Amino acid sequence: MNKSVFISRDLSANSPFKHQLVAADFRVIGRSLLDFKPIPFDAFPTTDWIFFYSRKAVEFFLTQIEHLPTDVKIAAYGKGTREALIAHNTLPDFTGTGEGTSTLVNFLKVAKQATVLFPQARHSRRTIEKLAGDQLISFPLIVYDNLPQQEVKASACTFLVFTSPLNVSAYFDQNSLARHQQVIAIGETTAAALSDYKIADFTIARTASEEGLVEAILEIL
């Protein structure tokens, strides 16, 4: 099997996904299939919590404000979002699993009936808000746009790793799956998007993290 991997994410210099796979003699290509731009906002409500879905939500919210409100608690959807918050000198009070249902169950243990601000993308699936229903008092705040790139070329890599539903759409709107390729999804919502494109044979990482994706690839090998 050709040890090559494409992942739909721009990888940082200290990316565990890149470091672990390169150490295992893989060729790794990391590139987001989306274009991002900030959406300015003038104000936002005072809430008990601010819940971040993604690294980009962290970036486009925190770079548009002078400082976080006092006494607000911070939540991260998963490990990657937590790392982005820490990089901005903000330690979250709650970190989810990166998967919707389990994250909500744990979040409700500390935040049921709380007011929660959700900085997010224009095309966010609003997973926690929808699953929570009236168990949370939710305030969505669009802080960035995420659009599929107009020209996405097919990858010849053996492993195709998708990190969001919109990246799945960006790729399979323009390309098809080759017979030799193995597909991996970072979580359940990304897996659902693959199913929408009639991709039947794929692996879901046990944990929604770069380490979990590496584990899935190595297990296939």
What pLDDT sits at residue 1? 62
Map out the domains of the chain with their CATH numbers. 4-33+151-220 (3.40.50.10090), 38-147 (3.40.50.10090)
- From residue 160, alpha-carbon distances to 18, 19, 200, 212 in Å are 14, 17, 14, 14
Q: How far apart are CA 83 and CA 47, in angstroms?
A: 23
What pLDDT sits at residue 12? 86
What pLDDT sits at residue 80? 87
What pLDDT sits at residue 13? 86
pLDDT in tens, the chain (221 residues): 689 999 999 998 889 999 999 999 999 999 999 999 999 999 999 999 999 999 999 999 999 999 999 999 999 999 889 999 999 999 999 999 988 999 999 999 999 999 999 999 998 989 999 999 999 999 999 999 999 999 999 999 999 999 999 999 999 999 999 999 999 999 888 999 999 999 999 999 999 889 999 999 999 98
